[in-house]
Amino acid sequence: MTKVAITGAAGNLGGLLAQEMKELDITLNLLIHKKDVSSNLKGQKNISVFNIDLSDSETLSSSLENVDVIVHFAGILFKANPEKFLPTTNTQYFKNLLDIAVKKQVKRIILISFPHVEGKSTPENPAKGVLTGSPESMHAKTRLEEEILLFEYGEKYNFEPVSLRVGMVYGQGILMIDAAQWFARHYILGVWKKPTYIHLISKTDFVDATIAATLKPNIRGIYHIGDEGIQTLQQFLDQITTYKGNHKPWRMPVWMIMAAARTFELHSAIFGTQSPLTVDFIKIGMVSYYGDTKRMRKELLPNLKYPTYLDGMELFGKP
């Protein structure tokens, strides 16, 4: 029986994957840090929960015993001054995970990444799956560093390295989507004026593609995970907020959005709370991104349940 370890299993996307994998004929090791997994993931014969700390490699040892595949989600996002901690919490912590995975002879390691690591890309010039990008934001820079580490280790230690460059996952229960709807409901959602292409994927198709990457044989390399739709961030937000009966986002000057991000970060730094918006989020968000999904469609998910977000509006819940 295949044994799969999910890091960040109590997080938004990691938890979503764990919920969908729990009924499969596999063994699941759910790796958490401070936040616990949902109660329905406990007490099952095929599921074990491990409290680990990626800053301390030794805490990983038992959680990776006899593991075949690791799916790595863990990371810190909603916190002030990400430029200061991401080189550690992304790059160094991932290296810690790789070091123990190699010792435990894990056969496949999947990194959940995103198209932004190649810098700006568009439907006419999509990201191709290379490691030579020059992204601006710290989130993208450090994730690219993780990808480079992954493939260097994979070549050196002969395991299957996989990077899933995932577009924006949408649907009810996805934190960023729910947050946008909350802001729109309170008439305070804003977006910059310049059209920005985004590549989307429904939460259903995201999970199906990730499960395929986890369990299908001979999977390795970079896969862009996205649907067939072509749209801008502005179009997407207008449509989903209108669908839910909320106010469409205001078109704002960038300086105003940056000011809001700095205010959130200051509050986060002073009071130790989460920051739903940071300057680095704005930097990464303002860059168009779109990936070439040919490999995904050929090797992972030939048929999408929701080819575009307009086909998947039901996933946002009832209007």
Q: How many CB atoms lie within 10 A of CB 96?
A: 18
Instruction: Write out the two tokens for 201.
Output: 């994927």
Question: pLDDT at position 79, please?
Answer: 62
Question: pLDDT at position 272, please?
Answer: 76
- CA trace torsion 6, 11, 17, 22 (10° rounding): 70
Establish if 178 belongs to a structural domain: no
Question: pLDDT at position 76, please?
Answer: 63
Domain that holds residue 10: 3-169+200-226+289-305
Q: Does the reported pTM lie above 0.75? A: yes
Crossing angle of helices 12-21 and 203-215, in 10° steps, is 70
Question: pLDDT at position 81, please?
Answer: 66
HSE-up (13 A, CA, CB side) for residue 72: 30
Task: Map residue 48 onto helix, strand or coil.
Answer: strand
Question: pLDDT at position 264, please?
Answer: 81
Give the whole-angstrom CA distance, residue 140 versus residue 110: 17
CATH number at residue 94: 3.40.50.720
Give the whole-angstrom CA distance, residue 245 versus residue 248: 9
From residue 270, alpha-carbon distances to 60, 79, 144, 265, 309 in Å are 32, 11, 30, 9, 38
Establish if 78 belongs to a structural domain: yes
Q: 121, 106 in Cβ contact below 8 A?
A: no
Establish if 84 belongs to a structural domain: yes
Establish if 179 belongs to a structural domain: no
Establish if 257 belongs to a structural domain: no
Q: 250, 59 in Cβ contact below 8 A?
A: no
How many structural domains does the chain have? Answer: 1
Q: Which residues of the chain have pLDDT under 70?
A: 75-82
Place of tokens 């990464």: 284
Establish if 10 belongs to a structural domain: yes
Give CA 237 to chain center in angstroms: 19
Give the whole-angstrom CA distance, residue 38 versus residue 19: 9
Establish if 216 belongs to a structural domain: yes
Q: 70, 146 in Cβ contact below 8 A?
A: no
Question: pLDDT at position 261, please?
Answer: 82
Establish if 149 belongs to a structural domain: yes
Question: pLDDT at position 52, please?
Answer: 95
Question: pLDDT at position 80, please?
Answer: 57
Crossing angle of helices 233-243 and 175-185, in 10° steps, is 70
Instruction: Write out the two tokens for 294.
Output: 């040919």
Give the whole-angstrom CA distance, residue 68 versus residue 58: 19
Name, in order, each residue with C-beta under 8 angstroms of 35's C-beta and a sequence gap of 6 or more. Answer: 10, 11
